[in-house]
Each structure stands twice: as structure tokens, then as C-alpha cells.
Structure 1
Amino acid sequence: MADRQGLDLQELMMRAELSEDRFEHAVDRCFGCTAPDACKCLLETAGPQLNLPDYCRNEAFFDDMRSK
């Protein structure tokens, strides 16, 4: 989902704009998703960029990363 938001999380980590701990928390939120099948389907069928679904638990995280 980060890729579809135009975010390169590895690059942000290399530039020290994203800590490993914060990255791991985002992954944990993703693993705790209440709609993993819907998310998988959305990622498989949507174009290169997409709006976050309402159920995405990382919306605030992605918004913050886009501001970097």
C-alpha cells in the first residue's frame, strides 16, 4: 500500500526519516487489518496509485510520511 501511495519506505529509512521501530509498527497495523482480503483485491486490481480505503489502519502514518 505504501508503494501505491507514492512512498518508498526503504528510502525514507536510509535517509533516517523513518525509524525501524516506526516501520515495524506500521507493518503490525497492516497485519492487524480487519479487511485483508479486500485490501489484497484492491491492490491487485487498482492502478499504480490509489486512494486509501476507509479501513486502512495506516492512513495517519502514510499522511505523515508523504509530508517528509
Structure 2
Amino acid sequence: MDGVDAVWLDLRGTFDSGPAIDAQVASGMRMIGVAIPRSPRDFYLKLTGPREQLLNAATEFQDFVKSARFVQ
């Protein structure tokens, strides 16, 4: 991404949203994330949702991240 080596993450399974007392459990989920090292702060982007809904969105998300540029 903009000449920086980013770290991609693709998780699939059951997600637990929130603290143990109020946790909502959802199965069949997916999260695609990217960590972009950048000084003085790193950037993190993620896309989360039902696995079936992210099938087409995953490629679009990756293309979006790869096309992004930092502006000084």
C-alpha cells in the first residue's frame, strides 16, 4: 500500500462481540484486516460481516486498500 509492506489478516469462524456479560455470538463470520506500518502511527483497516456477504466485498476491499495513498 503506497510502497509500504502491509500485513493482511483473514479470519473466519464464530465471533464474540463484547464483554462476557453482554456478548453476542455470531457464527459464519469473517474479518479481513490490514495493518499498515507508518510513522509516527500505524493504520489499521478491517471489514467484518457474514462470510457469504464478504465473498465479493473482499476483493473490492483489498483493491481499495492497495489503491490508497498517504497525503502529507
TM-score (norm 2): 0.31
Task: Tell which has more relative contact order, 1 or 2 (C-alpha 8 A, sep 6+).
Answer: 1
Determine which structure has the larger strand proportion and give its number: 2
Bigger CA radius of gyration: 2
TM-score (norm 1): 0.32
